Amino acid sequence: QVHLVESGGGAVRAGGSLRLSCSASGSGSVSSSDAMAWYRQFPEKQKELVAAVSSGGVTTYGDFVKGRFTVSIDYTKNTMYLQMNSLKPEDTGVYYCNLGRMLRGGTPIYLHYDYWGQGTRITVSS
C-alpha cells in the first residue's frame, strides 16, 4: 500500500508561482519502474492530467500547461514536484498526486493506478 501526501498549495495572484510536492511512503513506495503524475479537478468535473513523469526524465503534460509547469521526480526521496509559473485564475482547483506507469515508444502515455493523495488546493486570483 502506497500513501501519497501533497503539499505546497495556497493562494497566489495571476502570474505568480507555486511549487507542489508529493511524498510517497509505504511498502515499496516508488520504484524506478513507476511513474507519478499530477491531476487537477474542478467542481463537478472529472480529474484531468496536469503532468506526469517517469524515470529517465520522460514527461508528458496537459495541453493547457503550454510550457508554464515543470514536473520532476526524485526517486531517492520518493518525492515528485510540480513547479508552476505564470499561474492563471483558470488554474484554480484541487491538485492530486497519483502513482502509475508511463507507456513509452512514441508519445508518452500515463496510466494511473488507484493510488491518490488527499489533494492540495490552489487559488489564483486575478
Q: What is the mean pLDDT of each run of 10 residues along the chain (126 residues)?
A: 94 98 84 92 94 93 95 94 98 96 89 93 96
Query: What is the model's pLDDT at position 29?
Result: 72
Residue entry with cell 517517469: 54
Q: According to the model, what pLDDT value does residue 28 have?
A: 65
User: What DSSP string describes 42-58?
Assistant: -TTS--EEEEEEEGGGE
Residue for grid cell 509505504: 26
Residues comprising the chain, all counted? 126
What pLDDT, on the 0 to 100 scale, is given for residue 32? 80
Q: Which residues contact 94 (CB under 8 A, 6 or more apart)?
A: 40, 41, 119, 120, 121, 122
Nine cell digits for residue 36: 507519478
